[in-house]
Chain A
């Protein structure tokens, strides 16, 4: 499902964000990526969603060589994966419903189908009654659930998330985790989740990939937070 082979990423300013990354994630897996700040976690996510191109090596997601995509092909590729960010990235002037619908309009989906799809995912993340609310009227946890609903509305095979609980308190984080686990179970969606949150990692144990200085320090099938808490 996801395959990184000998991946290096060096930014234009000369920073080596990732080197010699070899990583294979199978369909249906739920994997944490952890590591101290600056260790290259977000860079890995950006390589996976096509925002950045590897300097060396190949990044393959659902069989697509993401690093070789032309700029114009990137949006089409993104329709096959879902991405969630720490800062939610909801369109502030769109309602919750419209935010989710946008991701479906993009692929030219029929209006009636969009409506039922949006209702379905809102139900899945437990926000049935918030369709007409604007993002700023929601709590952080609710906004993140909207973002997750948007990410999965297309029924992607892969969901990648960069610190989705980064701005949330433990209760809200637990809500997000249970939503993600439900998605993972219900649809068999492969999930890659970057996190700083030792609480989450230790409570909801999953395969954990630890990055340090841009390389993979450990890959623990049983999980657990292995880094010193800063």
Chain B
């Protein structure tokens, strides 16, 4: 009973050893593929991090119509804005706050004086306002449009037109990165499967011999699957070390951000760890799958 479980494992290890040259070429192809995938993923996820950071700084400014400044009306509006999908926070700013902010933003002390009269009761020309943050910069325009429909809204503006442009540029980069990562992962899967397939092709005769002496397909397949898994494991060691320590190193020398504080890198904890785990899973899965498909295909027509 126990040997039924351990036999394929033991035989799998032996198989890797017996076909050392072939195993090495498979391990190498797993290694190269995973390194590429790792680099692409580091890039893509960090670009995503940048855009998320930037998006956070992008706000929608909503001014309230003079006729709707009653507290209950403004509560209603705040709730209505909050209900819009994609809205994360809604902050209220009274017209007095707005005036203070505006006066303070004027650099010239002489000019500031010009605004003093507006501080008097009833003279404030500013509107009450809401500041709205959204979770996805690409939906800024759409959300702005929805807020315009709410009763009592005077004007809606989304700030940081340049930031918005940067976000959409980064989004494009990220999209391309994601596409590349996807394509690359597929390529990696294909490359690995193909290498394994070639090594098993070379051993097609072995499969035939095994059937000749009365081995069932499941008995033949077991060790090959374990071999695939071992190759996946061994092939992912170097990429994992490179990812885990390489990313930490990179993070260390850049101080956690690129160019300015605007481009904050993902913290190695947990990112480097998660990425390493993903690579491990990918190596094992592809090794297993490659072996499974190759062996099954060759056994299918053998009587």
A106 in contact with B219 (CB, 8 Å): yes
C-beta contact mask, B13-35 vs A, less than 8 Å → 1, else 0?
A: 00000110000000000000000
Note all chain B residues with C-beta closer than 8 A to A150.
213
Say if the beta carbon of B303 comes within 8 Å of chain A: yes
User: Are B214's CB and A106's CB within 8 A?
Assistant: yes
Tell me, rounded to whole Å, the shortest Cβ–Cβ distance linking A192 to chain B: 16
Q: A51-B303, A71-B303, A74-B303 given as contacts; is B212 within 8 A of A89 (CB)?
A: yes
B4 touches A78 (CB 8 A): no
List the B residue with the shortest CB-CB distance to A71.
B303
Q: Output the nearest chain A residue to B299 by Cβ-Cβ distance.
A: A71
Shortest distance in angstroms between A67's beta carbon and chain B's nearest beta carbon?
11
How close is B22's CB to chain A, nearest CB, in angstroms? 10
Chain A residues lying within 8 Å of B205, measured Cβ to Cβ, are: 89
The distance in angstroms between the C-alpha atoms of A76 and B211, with both chains bound, is 10
Q: Is the CB of A103 within 8 A of B18?
A: no
Q: How far is B303's CA from A46's CA once the two chains are assembled, in angstroms?
A: 10
A102 in contact with B18 (CB, 8 Å): no
Give the A-B pair count, Cβ closer than 8 A.
56
Most buried by A among B18, B210, B214, B303: B214
A75 pairs with B214, CB closer than 8 A? yes
**Chain A contact residues (Cβ within 8 angstroms of B): what range?**
20 to 34
Tell whether, in the assembled complex, residue B214 and residue A103 are in contact, meaning their CB atoms are under 8 Å apart. Answer: yes
Contact B303 A106 (CB under 8 A): no
Overall SS of chain B's interface: helix
B225: shortest Cβ distance to chain A, in Å? 17
Establish whether residues B216 and A90, one from each chain, have CB atoms under 8 Å apart when the complex forms.
no
- Contact of B216 with A72 in the complex, beta carbons under 8 Å: yes
B216's nearest neighbour on chain A, judged by CB, is A75
Q: A91 and B206: CB pair below 8 A? A: yes
Asked whether, in the complex, the Cβ of A78 is within 8 Å of the Cβ of B213, the reply is yes
Residues in A whose Cβ lies below 8 Å from that of B19: 93
Which chain B residues (181-211) contact chain A, with CB distance < 8 Å? 205-206, 208-211
Q: Given A71-B303, A74-B303, are A106 and B215 also a contact pair (CB < 8 Å)?
A: yes
Quick one: which of B7, B209, B216 contacts A76, CB cutoff 8 A?
A: B216
The residues of A that contact B215 with a CB separation of less than 8 Å are 75, 102, 106
Provide the residues of chain A in CB contact with B211, threshold 8 Å. 74-75, 78
Binary B-proximity of A64-106 (CB < 8 A = 1, otherwise 0): 0000000110111111000101000111111000000011011
Please, how many angstroms separate the alpha-carbon atoms of A144 and B170 in the complex? 68
| A83: chain B residues within 8 A (beta carbon) | 212-213
CB contact between B3 and one of A50, A94, A111 (< 8 Å): that residue: A111
Could you tell me which residues of chain A, from 11 to 55, have a CB within 8 Å of some CB in chain B?
A: 49-53
Which A residue sits closest to B215, measured CB to CB?
A: A106
Q: Are B216 and A102 in contact (CB-based, < 8 A)? A: no
A138 part of interface (Cβ distance < 8 Å) = no
Q: Which bucket holds chain B's interface residue count?
A: 10 to 19
Complex-state Cα separation, A23 to B215, whole angstroms: 29
Which residue of B is nearest A111, CB measured?
B3
CB contact under 8 A between A90 and B209, given known A52-B303, A74-B303, A108-B4: yes
Complex CA distance for A37 and B215, rounded to whole angstroms? 31
Chain A, range 104-132, C-beta contacts under 8 Å to B: 105-108, 111
Q: Is the CB of A102 within 8 A of B213?
A: yes
Q: Are B303 and A50 in contact, with the CB atoms below 8 A?
A: yes
B209 touches A91 (CB 8 A): yes
Residues on B with beta carbons closer than 8 Å to the beta carbon of A51: 303
Residue on B nearest A52 in the bound complex, by CB:
B303
Please measure, in the bound complex, the distance between the C-alpha atom of A90 and the C-alpha atom of B3, giving whole angstroms. 24
User: How far is the CB of B266 from the nearest CB of chain A, in Å?
Assistant: 46
CA A73 to CA B206, docked complex, whole Å: 20
CA distance A52 to B211 in the complex (A): 13
Query: In whole angstroms, how far apart are the Cα atoms of A178 and B211 in the complex?
Result: 28
Task: Report the Cα distance A108→B161, complex, angstroms.
Answer: 73
Instruction: Please name the residue on chain B nearest to A51 by beta carbon.
Output: B303
Which residues of B approach A to under 8 Å, CB–CB? 3-4, 7, 18-19, 205-206, 208-217, 219, 303
Question: 20 A-B Cβ contacts within 8 A?
Answer: A50-B303, A52-B303, A53-B303, A72-B217, A74-B303, A75-B214, A75-B215, A76-B214, A77-B214, A78-B211, A83-B212, A85-B212, A90-B209, A92-B206, A102-B215, A106-B219, A107-B214, A108-B4, A111-B3, A154-B214
Closest 9 A/B residue pairs (Cβ): A93-B18, A79-B214, A78-B214, A103-B213, A106-B215, A75-B216, A89-B209, A75-B214, A106-B214
